[in-house]
Structure 1
Amino acid sequence: MDLSEENTFKHYYYPETHIVPSDDEEGVLPLKIKKTISNKRPSNSIHGFFEKRKKKKMIKYSSSVSQATDEGIAFIKSNQDDGAYASHLIKIELYDWAKIKNVPSSEQWKHAEVRIKYYAHSDNDDHVEKTKDVIYNITKHLAAKSDCVNFVIDSEK
């Protein structure tokens, strides 16, 4: 064993106790894990092992409702990761057209009467069903107009 070689004691840094034997494929799994972990370190030097890593910011997908008020934007959110197990995302925005007619589209969100982002947790969620009803009724209303145009956009191109 050559003690002068860099990373000679690498196997001490990666204990194999967390490996489930059934996951091992012909005895190569510990090697794969060691390579993967060593690639995630800032460098392969011993100093790189002890370097402090930046923590990744965990993104929470919280359901929320915001409303424009005279004081600003009132905001309420679930403060949970509702999107982790969601089956649907419902986003609804309601605007007073007279107020946003001359506002650039990138700034319109600030003037929304109500903005909703809701993560539903099952296909038979009552809110999903009611949202589908609203969509159906709006679509039916638009389709009933005399100069309605119906077309399909190919999303593959």
Structure 2
Amino acid sequence: MSRLEGKCLCGAVTLSFEPLKDALGACHCEMCRRWTGSAFLEIDAKPGSLTHEGPVKSFASSDWAERAWCDACGTTLWYHLTLPGHDYYSISAGLVDDAGGLELTTEIYIDVKPAGYAFAGEHETKTKAEVEAGFAAFVEGTKP
């Protein structure tokens, strides 16, 4: 897949990346809902492919991740796994025109999403316990 380009609401931050796969994901965890005001719709970036310019700020939201935004307009930019040896970025799909033309393939934290949220179509879902077991494996270093 070719590189995608995006920008924040005010245009001060621009970015470019290669998607890891042809897919959108949605996270319904409490932190993502508070951070975005809804579900976090994201595109996973191929490791090493993200480049960006502009006033980016970030917040360490857990022991293993940070969330970034444009310091000029506040637009949500990405979720970044900060564990040593990992280069994982989930880029906000709203930064890219037409979300890169990608389709939703996965929803995580499905069991804690608000009852009024619903995405159309069939796709993979993971519960809070399933997702957090995967993160625990990353933190413990048992997953590549």
Tell me the TM-score normalized by structure 2: 0.24
Tell me the TM-score normalized by structure 1: 0.23
More strand by share: 2
Which structure is larger by alpha-carbon Rg, 1 or 2?
A: 1
More helix by share: 1
